[in-house]
A and B are shown apart, each in its own frame.
Chain A
Amino acid sequence: MDTGLAIRERLDSIAVKGKQKKQIKCDTDSIAGCVSQRACVYCGARVVLNPVTDAIHLVHGPIGCASYTWDIRGSLSSGSELYRNSFSTDLQEEDVIFGGEKKLARAIDDLVGKYKPRLVFVYATCIVGVIGDDLEAVCKAAAQKHNIEVIPVESSGFIGNKAAGYRAACDALFRLINSGETEKKKNDPKINYLGDFNLAAEAWIIKNYLYEMGIEVNVTFTGDSDYMALKKAPEASLNIVQCAGSMHYLARKMKDRFGIPFMNVSFLGIEDTSDSLRKIAAFFNNDEITRRAEALIDKEIRRIEPLIRGYRKKLQGKKAAVYVGGGFKAISLIKQFKELGIDVVMVGTQTGRREEYEVIHDLVNEGTVVLDDANPSELERFMLEKGAHLLVGGVKERPLAYKLGLAFIDHNHDRKHPLSGFVGAVNFAEEVYSTVCSPVWRFIG
């Protein structure tokens, strides 16, 4: 669609590598009237907090926000399944007129009576921000009444974009861990793993790698986490951050408050996984850990390399387009595609930051289109222009790719197998192969 770029305001958000280096405009509000692929503050907060398994996640608002986020994240639990329910105050017209505080207080009473949780998160939706319910006061009173923790999440949809929701979630988590009384045990090889939501058991894979290296994962934020584990977060001697978009902020706060250093890691693809394990080992400066890390990397690479090589033969020369939530994931995917002999010809994110776009720019080949907060017609235009064979994205991008006759990989909530670590690298390659080389494409046209 040639009119795809008719809107001048969007031009600053799109760059082509090779034509003079340009700072892409990002981290701004979307333009009204665009078919943006972005979501809201509440959405950001919910996806980050929801994997806390034994919490009541109570959505204060009309029913929609709770309905759409009911168990969509696909994060797995080894314990409680409470988080998979959908709780809502289901605000009605009269609540909007007279205020929803009483209804909220009663809803908390109801749920605490039924489920006996130790932790309740109360999410503010758009409307709560507008009618001015005092969430803080209601939560405080409920916490005292039931002698549990009731934490408000300031996530009214209109107060920013998804990234503001990540911060709201991190604020809620920080509040939880900052009220604990645990003592830090110095120099234990014990780490917190931030920014993995245990989709398709990904956090467990990484936990096992670290265990093999002699490192204990103290708590994962937030995949398969629970109240007790989160409370012990200050005991860790290092925070590793996978999804930087959502968790960098919390890592900073924990560094300031508890003195826990942090490092960014990525477990997507062979290169990033190996580098990250080495970085973690180096941090502890312990020969045994380093030896074990090298042994693990060596063993795993030897195991999977023939498999990856097999797929690379079949995929060499294909072209991929990437449109994902955060910049960090986009960076890893570019590297991972290189491992498979695939060029990334278009790459964009919903909430990427300036420094991430700079890394992306350095990584991609000449001519690659880089864009922020894209809409479907832009995605279509550049995928066709660049001859992409494959798109990586989320729910809303899938049918768009299919209609264009392009293969598709879900790298969002709908992934059905782990894409993390060495095993994930093989799964990823297999998935790329299974979709790019599927016989179904022969029937089109």
Chain B
Amino acid sequence: MLDFTPKEIKERASGGLINPAKTCQPIGAMYAALGIHRCLPHSHGSQGCCAYHRSHLTRHFRDPILASTSSFTEGASVFGGGANLKTAIKNVFAIYNPDVMAIHTTCLTETIGDDIPAFLNQAEIPEGKIVIHANTPSYVGSHITGFSNMTRGMVNYLSEATTETKKEQVNIIPGFVNPGDMREIKRLVKAMGINFIMFPDTSGVVDSPMTGKFEMFPKGGTTVEELKDTGNSKLTIALGSFASTDAAIALERKCKVPAKTLKTPIGVKATDEFLMTLRNTFVTEIPYELEEERGQLVDIMVDTHHQFHGKKVAIFGDPDIVIGLTELVLGLGMVPVHVLTGTPGSSFEKEVRAMLLESGLKGNVKAAGDLFEFHQWIKNEPVDLIIGNTYGKYIARAEDIPLVRVGFPILDRSVHSYMPIVGYKGAMRLVEMISNALLDRQDRDAADEDFELVM
């Protein structure tokens, strides 16, 4: 399929994309909204957007993803979507009875200029029910921007500072990660013995257990009470600057909760920083359980480091995840030669370049790129491994390079959304995946005389 990707790289005059490494804001907003307990995400636009987002999330998580739509027709596009939204609000609470309805916009409703807060003022919202919203024009940013905007929407609508002094609790914004990652982050904080509120929290919603019953609103998600209480916390830790910082800053402004942005805790260094930040703010000791895990991880890295030295790797995906993965592979002694995200934002390039420079390396680094260009880079400088989402499989096949699937979306494998890549445990898993990919490759390519039992 990619036989015609030319090696020669020319500036593309149009700014159009070939094989994108991002998608649009509303799906990120939908995913974030699923992280509120008993919340129905609502897509204000045509039916297709909602259907696509639900299909895409369903394929990645393999769980029911429910969201309603304003079902725009031509009339609504001409006269504005106010009537549709009011009908939708009435119907959503009458039929599905969620506690919260989280509305996000689409490119259509943004362009015709629908004023959601004005519509909400005129709408009849049943007693005790909550409607929040975020503006998520598809022609700005990416799905990560949408996730960030909806998370900030939670703060804007719900966070309240009600106590005299801040409580001994931390807000944790995990960013656009899998429910398995959210569970792992919560486990780390619990192990530290610190009270916390994580938001959004999709664990228990998109990785809900099989019970033989269909739950429209499964047990998981951050409750409204918790979201309100985020204004009383002593600190907010935003994990991943792209997906989480905006909400943390909004909370700092609104409720005077200090905000601190850290990397998504992928690998030893970022996990250390996360735990040390918790320790330094809440004066607790790191429990032996976590020290032991760290020790095990480092032990694994020592046991395997010879496999990784000098191996070239190309990484693509969402910015916060790619930054974390780059740090992890650098720690293993690998050489990240191509690093790309589809999400725009100059800080990505700065941050990755600085990490490479620190290790005495240079590489291709780009934000707002696409996989066509990424493929061209690999043609010009081949790598031993690609790390990225399912879309990397075309390049992996065309160039015969192993692919380790990490990120969003993963459409052709299962179980990934249950398994963490964050924390020491997540890093162990990543090291195992990367190591096995390289060793499987070595086995496959070995001549009979080089084929070994012990590796």
A and B bound? yes
Interface residues, chain A, CB within 8 Å of chain B?
Answer: 1, 3-4, 6-7, 29-43, 58, 61-70, 81-82, 84-93, 95-96, 103, 106-107, 109-111, 114-115, 125-127, 129-131, 157-161, 375-377, 380, 394-396, 398-400, 402-405, 443-445
Residue from A1, A106, A114, A395 within 8 A of B55 (CB atoms): A395
* Known contacts A39-B47, A157-B48; A400/B1 CB under 8 A: no
* Known contacts A40-B49, A404-B214; A89/B14 CB under 8 A: yes
**Bound CA span A314–B46, Å:** 44
**Bound CA span A35–B88, Å:** 10
**Is there a chain A Cβ closer than 8 Å to B96's Cβ?**
yes
Closest to B409 in A: A67
New contact pairs (9) apart from A88-B20, A398-B62, CB-CB < 8 Å = A39-B47, A89-B17, A106-B16, A107-B14, A110-B14, A111-B18, A158-B46, A395-B59, A398-B58
Q: List 9 A-B contacts (CB under 8 A).
A: A38-B51, A62-B138, A67-B23, A85-B19, A107-B16, A130-B77, A158-B74, A396-B55, A405-B210
Cβ contact within 8 Å between B52 and A39: yes
Closest to A103 in B: B14
In the complex, chain B residues whose CB is within 8 Å of the CB of A37? 51
**Is there a chain A Cβ closer than 8 Å to B95's Cβ?**
yes
B350 to chain A, nearest CB (A): 21
**Is there a chain A Cβ closer than 8 Å to B63's Cβ?**
yes
Cβ contact within 8 Å between A34 and B46: no
Cβ contact within 8 Å between A68 and B52: yes
A28 to chain B, nearest CB (A): 10
**Is there a chain A Cβ closer than 8 Å to B45's Cβ?**
yes
In the complex, chain B residues whose CB is within 8 Å of the CB of A67? 20, 22-24
Cβ contact within 8 Å between A68 and B23: yes
A271 to chain B, nearest CB (A): 32
* Known contacts A103-B15, A404-B214, A445-B211; A81/B111 CB under 8 A: no
Cβ contact within 8 Å between B77 and A158: yes
**Which one of B65-73, B149-157, B273-281, B292-300 is at the interface?**
B65-73
Cβ contact within 8 Å between A81 and B16: no
Cβ contact within 8 Å between B45 and A66: no
Cβ contact within 8 Å between A92 and B87: no
Residue from B16, B54, B96, B140 within 8 A of A89 (CB atoms): B16
Cβ contact within 8 Å between B139 and A93: yes
A382 to chain B, nearest CB (A): 12
Interface centre among B26, B76, B106 (most CB of A within 10 A): B106
In the complex, chain B residues whose CB is within 8 Å of the CB of A131? 111
Closest to A403 in B: B214
**Bound CA span A294–B88, Å:** 55
In the complex, chain B residues whose CB is within 8 Å of the CB of A394? 55
A344 to chain B, nearest CB (A): 20
Cβ contact within 8 Å between A380 and B71: no
* Known contacts A40-B46, A40-B49, A161-B47; A127/B18 CB under 8 A: no
**Bound CA span A169–B4, Å:** 27
**Is there a chain A Cβ closer than 8 Å to B94's Cβ?**
yes
**Bound CA span A254–B52, Å:** 32
**Bound CA span A285–B106, Å:** 55
* Known contacts A6-B94, A34-B91, A399-B62; A62/B211 CB under 8 A: no
Cβ contact within 8 Å between A62 and B46: no
